[in-house]
Amino acid sequence: MDGDGLASLAELQTKYPQITEDIFLDIDANADGFINEVELLVAVETDLLPAFITDQ
Protein backbone atom coordinates (compact mmCIF):
# COMPACT_ATOMS: atom_id res chain seq x y z
CA MET A 1 0.00 0.00 0.00
CA ASP A 2 1.21 3.48 -0.72
CA GLY A 3 -0.48 5.33 2.12
CA ASP A 4 -3.74 6.32 0.49
CA GLY A 5 -5.68 3.59 2.27
CA LEU A 6 -6.48 1.87 -1.00
CA ALA A 7 -4.73 -1.10 -2.56
CA SER A 8 -4.55 -1.79 -6.26
CA LEU A 9 -4.21 -5.30 -7.67
CA ALA A 10 -0.48 -4.72 -8.19
CA GLU A 11 -0.06 -3.56 -4.60
CA LEU A 12 -1.88 -6.59 -3.21
CA GLN A 13 0.16 -8.90 -5.42
CA THR A 14 3.38 -7.60 -3.90
CA LYS A 15 2.17 -9.14 -0.62
CA TYR A 16 0.00 -11.93 -2.01
CA PRO A 17 1.38 -13.15 -5.36
CA GLN A 18 -1.37 -15.76 -5.45
CA ILE A 19 -4.08 -13.14 -5.85
CA THR A 20 -5.47 -13.26 -9.36
CA GLU A 21 -7.54 -10.64 -11.11
CA ASP A 22 -10.63 -12.80 -10.51
CA ILE A 23 -9.99 -12.84 -6.76
CA PHE A 24 -9.28 -9.13 -6.80
CA LEU A 25 -12.61 -8.46 -8.50
CA ASP A 26 -14.35 -10.57 -5.85
CA ILE A 27 -12.71 -8.51 -3.11
CA ASP A 28 -13.44 -5.19 -4.84
CA ALA A 29 -17.06 -5.00 -3.71
CA ASN A 30 -17.77 -1.53 -5.12
CA ALA A 31 -15.80 -2.19 -8.33
CA ASP A 32 -13.72 0.99 -8.18
CA GLY A 33 -10.51 -0.88 -8.99
CA PHE A 34 -9.03 -0.49 -5.52
CA ILE A 35 -9.39 -2.34 -2.23
CA ASN A 36 -10.24 -0.17 0.76
CA GLU A 37 -10.01 -1.13 4.42
CA VAL A 38 -13.61 -2.34 4.61
CA GLU A 39 -13.25 -4.52 1.53
CA LEU A 40 -10.02 -5.89 2.96
CA LEU A 41 -11.74 -6.82 6.22
CA VAL A 42 -14.56 -8.53 4.37
CA ALA A 43 -12.04 -10.41 2.24
CA VAL A 44 -10.30 -11.77 5.32
CA GLU A 45 -13.58 -12.69 6.99
CA THR A 46 -14.71 -14.57 3.90
CA ASP A 47 -11.31 -16.25 3.45
CA LEU A 48 -10.61 -14.54 0.14
CA LEU A 49 -7.37 -13.36 1.73
CA PRO A 50 -5.26 -15.63 3.93
CA ALA A 51 -4.20 -12.97 6.40
CA PHE A 52 -4.84 -9.41 7.41
CA ILE A 53 -2.69 -6.74 5.78
CA THR A 54 -1.64 -4.53 8.64
CA ASP A 55 0.55 -1.84 7.11
CA GLN A 56 -0.86 1.34 5.66
Residue ranges that bind Ca ion, judged by CB under 5 A: 28, 30, 32
CB nearer to Ca ion: pick between 5 and 50: 5
* Least Cβ distance, residue 29 to Ca ion (angstroms): 6
CB nearer to Ca ion: pick between 28 and 49: 28
* Least Cβ distance, residue 27 to Ca ion (angstroms): 8
Are 32 and 39 contacting, i.e. CB atoms less than 8 angstroms apart? no
* Least Cβ distance, residue 28 to Ca ion (angstroms): 4
Give exposure, 2-38, as e/b (b: 16+ Cβ within 10 Å). eeeebbbbebbeeebeebeeebbeebbeeeeebbbee
